[in-house]
Structure 1
Amino acid sequence: MLTLNVAVLLAVVVFFRLRRRTQARRRNEERATAVIILALGVVLAPTAVGQGILDILGQLASGVTQASR
């Protein structure tokens, strides 16, 4: 349960960081955002929600691959 709460907190932080205008960001801010998104992925991956997202993305990727043939 704690893992999911941390994931929700990181998702909120990512949402607010990405709402800012791109021109106003500095390189350090972009790096911090990338690290936060990476941490969100690491925290979310072992949960049931993360596995569901992985399954959906896998189905989407296989659908795109089959459609391009």
Structure 2
Amino acid sequence: MPESFTLEKLLDLCAELLPGATPTPDSNFFALGGDSLTASALAALVHERWGATIEAEQIFIARDLASLYREIHT
């Protein structure tokens, strides 16, 4: 069974995908260095690790990682 999906886990995953970045809840994924390929990878890994569904488009429109987490978690 997948471990619990939390905001902290999302931040850790973003740090994993964006080496050298220090994601915070207020960070924008693309301002951290993300691009369309890493957005797709993030969506796939969120689904793989936690079974949550997220579309890459949601990452594009999310103001910050906290709002992206809320969108995923609702």
Whether TM-score is above 0.5 comes out as: no
Computing the radius of gyration from Cα coordinates, the structure with the larger value is: 1
Structure of higher RCO (CA pairs closer than 8 Å, 6+ residues apart):
1
TM-score, normalization by structure 2: 0.31
